[in-house]
Amino acid sequence: MTVDLVIFTVRDGELNILLIERGNEPFRGASALPGGYVRPGETLDQTALRELREETSLDGRELHLEQVRAYSDPDRDPRGRVITVAYLALGPDLPRPVAGTDARQAAWTPVAEVLEGRMILAFDHRTILRDALERARTQLEHTTVAARFCPEPFTVGELRRIYEVVWGFKLDPSNFRRKMTRAEAFLEPTGEQRFPEVGRPAALYRRGSARFLIPPLLRTGASRDEVV
């Protein structure tokens, strides 16, 4: 029984995932999701938090952690019967990943590189990644987790870029602003401004208390092909 982590962050305008290089067989040398065995007396949430801390030196308070689902194909691990529960983690541009204890190299990797097939993942981790990404995209529609990607304080434009990167298509800046600022308790204005290198200064916001985005911001599919 293991827990695998799909840790997303946005770096350089791209969606990135934390992958480790496997030091042992099977799939030695291939990339894989960070994860590990559930210890006796540990809940799965605790396992996920512990693995997260070991891989990124972050405690879970700063980011969103959520169970995705269990994967149980008897042949998914050639060593034997291993059922794994996948967790989705979202966070702001995270500090450099820490090398794991068992000589594993951890690195941020653009999700596009993985899904376009230019990189092979161990086990069924490619399927897990796909499911977790879909979950993240749906979460952005109905909840306020997108703000968990943004280091506080943040601008509406930064928040919009999160949506664009995770969803994979561009959004109208004006309509997005209208939607977000009208949503109850999503954005809490600080009153401050940020002066970027280029463009008009932007108002700064903090995360509000709302956990759900009502009404939701649905991907209509109309502009879904406009890839960023």
210 touches DNA by CB under 7 A: no
Size of the site for DNA (CB under 7 A): 28
Give the tokens for residue 107: 């690195």
7 strand-pairing partners? 89
- The dihedral through the CA atoms of 90, 95, 96, 98 has a sign that is negative
**Closest to DNA by CB, 59 or 184:** 184
- Residue 82: name its binding partner from DNA, a copy of itself, none (Cβ under 5 to 8 Å by kind): none
How far apart, in whole angstroms, are the C-alpha atoms of residue 124 and residue 116? 16
- 3 state DSSP class of 148: helix
Minimum CB distance to a copy of itself smaller for 1 or for 98: 1
Q: Please tell me the distance from the alpha carbon of residue 3 to that of residue 10, in angstroms, as a whole number.
A: 23
* Contact string (CB under 8 A) for a copy of itself, positions 35-64, x = contact: ---x-xxxxxx-------------------
Site string for DNA, 165-204 (x = CB under 7 A): -------xxxx-xxx-x-----------x-xxxxxxxxx-
CA–CA separation, 18 vs 34, rounded Å?
7
Residue 74 touching a copy of itself (CB under 8 A): yes
Tell me: does residue 199 bind a copy of itself (CB under 8 A): no
Q: Does 83 bind a copy of itself (CB under 8 A)?
A: yes
- Give the tokens for residue 164: 């664009």
User: How far apart (Å, rounded) are the C-alpha atoms in residues 6 and 201?
Assistant: 35
Residue whose token pair is 């350089």: 12
Q: How far is the CB of 218 from a copy of itself (least distance, A)?
A: 7
Interacting residues toward a copy of itself by CB under 8 A: 1, 38, 40-45, 67, 69-70, 72-74, 81, 83, 85, 214-216, 218, 221
